[in-house]
Amino acid sequence: MELFEVVFEAADVVIELVLRLIEAVFRLTLWLLDLLGWLLSRFRRWLDLLPDRDPSQLSMLGKIGRGLLAGSVSLSLLVPLVWLVFR
């Protein structure tokens, strides 16, 4: 009878530790999402301060920079998606 009590008590401790670990991961995830949201809002405010220019008014370096930015954002979104689909 005592053996079962010890086993069940140990199982309760393990379950409690697993639940605390899940809670810690959940809190960390929420904190990281809050940080990402804050960074995106700062970036949005910075973009709102920039003048709105027609692409024909940009210099060659500006056009190259915009193209590289668009390409890097596209690749950063598409490469993980392709990896998830075709792995």
Q: pLDDT 10s digit of each residue in the chain, 87 long? A: 576 677 777 888 889 999 999 999 999 999 999 999 999 999 999 888 888 878 788 889 988 999 999 999 999 999 999 999 998
Q: Indicate the pTM of the whole model.
A: 0.53
Which two structure tokens, joined as six digits, stand for 50? Answer: 């920039």
SS3 24: helix
Pairwise CA distance, residues 11 & 51, whole Å: 62
What b/e sequence results for 30-60 when a residue is b if at least 16 CB atoms lie within 10 Å of its CB, and e otherwise? Answer: eeeeeeeeeeeeeeeeeeeeeeeeeeeeeee
